[in-house]
Structure 1
Amino acid sequence: MARSSIATAAERALLGGAAGGIRIASKISPELGARAALPLFMRVGPRVPVAPVDAATHAAARRGTVRIPGIRRTGVDVVTYEWGGGPDTIVLAHGWQSRASVFATLARELRSEGFRVVGFDAPANGESGGRGTYLVDHLHIFAELQQRLGRFHAIVGHSFGGLAALLAPAEGIAVRRVGAIAAAATPDVFIDGFGDLAGLDPATREALARRFAARLFPGEHPFERYSALAHPLPDGVPLLLVHDRGDRRVPFSEASRLVAANPGARLVAADGLGHNRILRADVTLDAVVDFVTAPDAAGAPRPEAAASAIR
């Protein structure tokens, strides 16, 4: 949806003096404060550049596009990236104000295991068009990619993208297994994160959630629809969670809530990696590779591995 609980320098600069104005408006009424906060809450912020360490892998990707409605329902072209060419596809879903290239290290690891690896820059991120985004965009991207590539072996998402990955099966996406790194359990985390950043009281946060829902999803209940607690993974879809105990952007308690909602989920707890460095850490790379190459619930190897053994 929007922010996380600890602001980056760019996020602090984005709010600047506006936070004070929002708090003043909130003292008049929560609804007035929410009206002032909504434009900032919905803003993605500056597009992050490709990190030098990721540049070579980013440049080597095969590029394409998919077109989705976008949150404004006017259509937006989304840039996609593909590495490897195996029969089993793994989709990587980045977080808020991010881009596909943050998965460069993981993409190389998965490609070396024989997978086709696909990433994308969500609307208003990376090289894709658009001025805003929400979880529904990730889900529409999954659906468009599935039309082209068939059932996914796995979806692995980070943060905001992790929540999208968790929701994918309930939205009709066919996927064998799901991995979520530093993921939120519900969209409320992002309301609270923005509220912490702007110093909003509980009443204004609630008013902001209502206003956001009315703006983008009139007549719907998006906080229920996009809750991974309300929509746990179906039986037979394994779940891997990787989360740092000291994550100050998406609290570690979110992982505990997800485990409670998905009995049998595997939780890998890390220390000292925070919210973003965890993506390149060996503990994460090893856990994800082990997860996606493991035999399925019936004890059989993944289809590509079985085919390789026959050859």
Structure 2
Amino acid sequence: MQKIIYRALALSYGAYFNSTAFFSEKEAGRKAFGLFSTPRKGRVLPTQEAFLQKHLAQRPIINELALQTYHWPGPGETVLLLHGWESNTFRWRNLIEKLQEREFNIIAFDAPGHGYSEGTSLNVVTYAEQAQHLIDMYSPKYIIGHSMGGLATIHNHYQYPNSSIEKIVALGAPAELSELMDHYQKLLRFNNKVLKGLDKHILENFNHRITDISTPTFAKSFSKPGLIIHDELDTITPFSASTRLHENWKNSQLITTTGLGHSLQQEELYLCIVDFLNS
């Protein structure tokens, strides 16, 4: 029943965007982007509070939003963690344990509209920019991103190749914004006029076209070491996203898992990440 309701709601949004586009392509694109960028979950749950509140750190104001950071102090090199869509810093708890065992200095933050951070929307361009503010603040040597956080991590390195980052880890990261938009269009069944309005909205507000956001394209210019991790049975982000990224990233390794799904939560896997950072 819940799936039926969700499907009906999606189609109603698509019909609304189509009717809006009949009168204004620009307005249809703005509204479609607003829905696309609005998370439905990802705020801190009661079961997550105890872990996160012990490590609350600064709340820097970035693009007029207070973003919640977390700190697990250590004498070693600094690592910055970026969670994925509709998630928050709690998703890193098991990796943080392994990083602490190796005495890394760990920084994480909740993206806008997620966790304890302000805001109601999130997109990959602003996520990458906000990550750069944190990189400027903490000078991490390593950066790790999951899912949308992995996409933002790669986009960040493409935009800011001369930052303090020396190694990059991407887990289950999407490859192309165009593929995400294609799925969005098929789910809602909005027409190409809406899609055109979406593309124009992104260009006018973020100086990118939909086709510009491509991790395989970005990776062609990368020289720093990268570790790419993806489950071949991932139902959220196709495994091919990481194989294409790996093919174009000359100094990268690809770890393939089976059965871990999109979350990629496994002790052995996290030990591989720690070993990669220490190598």
1:129 deviation in Å?
0.6
Are 1:287 and 2:257 matched, yes or no?
no
1:182-193 equivalent positions in 2, closer than 5 A: 182-193=172-183
> What's the counterpart of residue 95 of structure 1?
84
User: 156-165 or 55-64, which moves further after superposition?
Assistant: 55-64
What number of residue pairs does the alignment pair up?
272
Are 1:197 and 2:192 matched, yes or no?
no
Find the aligned partners of 1:214 and 1:222 in 2 and give their Cα distance. Answer: 5
Give RMSD over aligned pairs.
2.8
Q: Deviations over 1:93-152 (max 9, x none)?
A: 0111211111111111111111011110111111111121222332233322233322x2
Find the aligned partners of 1:63 and 1:134 in 2 and give their Cα distance. Answer: 24
Q: In 2, are the aligned partners of 1:239 and 1:266 still within 8 Å (CA)?
A: yes
> What's the counterpart of residue 54 of structure 2?
60
Q: In 2, are the aligned partners of 1:193 and 1:249 still within 8 Å (CA)?
A: no
Aligned match for 2:146, one of 144, 150, 158: 158
Find the aligned partners of 1:292 and 1:238 in 2 and give their Cα distance. Answer: 10
Find the aligned partners of 2:197 and 2:257 in 1 and give their Cα distance. Answer: 33
TM-score, with normalisation over the residues of structure 1?
0.77
Aligned match for 2:32, one of 21, 37, 41: 37
Aligned match for 1:130, one of 119, 123, 137: 119
Aligned pair in 2 of structure 1 residues 47, 259: CA closer, same or farther (>3 Å)? closer
Are 1:249 and 2:236 matched, yes or no?
yes
Aligned pair in 2 of structure 1 residues 94, 204: CA closer, same or farther (>3 Å)? farther
> What's the counterpart of residue 299 of structure 1?
none
Are 1:179 and 2:169 matched, yes or no?
yes
What secondary structure is seen at the aligned counterpart in 2 of 1:163? helix
Find the aligned partners of 1:50 and 1:96 in 2 and give their Cα distance. Answer: 15
Identical counterparts, % of pairs? 24
1:90 deviation in Å?
0.5
Aligned pair in 2 of structure 1 residues 186, 51: CA closer, same or farther (>3 Å)? farther
Find the aligned partners of 2:121 and 2:16 in 1 and give their Cα distance. Answer: 26
Aligned pair in 2 of structure 1 residues 251, 283: CA closer, same or farther (>3 Å)? farther
Specify every segment of 5 or more residues in structure 2 that has no aligned partner in the other structure, as ranges. none
Q: Deviations over 1:206-252 (max 9, x none)?
A: 425414414523xx224355332232265541111111111111110
